[in-house]
Amino acid sequence: MQVLKTPESAFDKIPDFPYVPRYVAVTDTISSEITMAYYQCGPADGHTILLMHGEPTWAYLYRKMMPILAKAGFNVVVPDLIGFGRSDKPMRKEDYTYARHVIWLKEWFTQVVKGPTTLFCQDWGGLLGLRLVADMPERFTGVMVSNTGLPTGDHPASDAFIKWRRFSQDTPVFPTSAIIQNATVSDLHHTTLAAYDAPFPDESYKAGARMFPLLVPTSPDNPEAQANRLAWEKLKQFNKPFITAFGDSDPITKGGEKIFQKLVQGCDGMAHTTVKSGGHFIQEDQGEKLAELLIQFIQQTHQSTN
């Protein structure tokens, strides 16, 4: 497997993400090892909050939330998924599968994250992070989901998603920052747009970004459809605090919060929120609000901060 590594110089001009990357080697399922980057802030002995990004973003998406959570005393851990940010980027689209992403993430999590953990996830951060919760429920004390899901292909995908998937494959240039701008309510500064483009010096680095839309189970016979059905059976039994905070302006995941609220035990009695002026990349539009909601969620459900 041929792997690209984004030069560190590509990140030199990002003014608002001061976090020093850390690296872990995870075992690849076919060849040898592949390197995954992550960032940590806040007291290491605080209660751990795991922030999971989706596609085509990277940990930078959480720059508004990280300092607020750290100041509140939490150990904040944010990985770059394989193919994104500072993590290794396999060159062939065929190198990316849903199952491999789960394996990579699980090994990273096992090596890096210790103690009770609260998960916050959005977009593919949910498709992967919720598989962790299903497989290792004892490791998680609570979950907040936003603009995400765990599709099984048993129900038709939204028109918005079908259009997005077609665009991701047909466009000759995958316009990373423009995709993010088009899925936010707020106007992003040019330095922010540049930060989202930074991990991808040219099109050869974008195999993972292009592949993710194809990996979403949209038919019952998708290779990971059954794995997600099994994960749902486990999530239904997850009786620890589980809360939704979806944006009001995301056509791709609109209504997805109701599925969690109906099926997951831990959603019962929670103060679920619809976040106003929140697009698909809700962390850009309402990052500070999400951080506050997450802190309240942990405090009100008496999750340990030690």
From 95, 123, 248, 272, the catalytic residue: 123
Cα(21)–Cα(86) distance, rounded to whole angstroms?
Answer: 8
3-state secondary structure of 28: coil
134 contacts 235 by C-beta, under 8 angstroms: yes
Closest CA to 128 of 62, 215, 198: 215
Angstrom distance (rounded) from CA 165 to CA 75: 35
Place of tokens 């999971």: 52
Bridge partners (DSSP) listed for residue 40: 77
Q: Does residue 302 carry a catalytic annotation?
A: no
Phi-psi region of 83 (alpha: psi -120 to 50; beta: other; left: phi over 0): left
CA distance 31 to 25: 13
Query: Is 123 an active-site residue?
Result: yes
Are 248 and 263 within 8 A, CB to CB? no
Contact 82/103 with Cβ under 8 angstroms?
A: no
Asked whether the beta carbons of 128 and 83 are under 8 A apart, the reply is: no
* CB-based contact 283:294 (threshold 8 Å): no
Annotated active-site residue in 101, 280, 285, 302: 280
User: 282 pairs with which residues across the strands?
Assistant: none
Of the residues 28, 88, 95, 250, only one is catalytic, namely: 250
Active site residues: 123, 250, 280
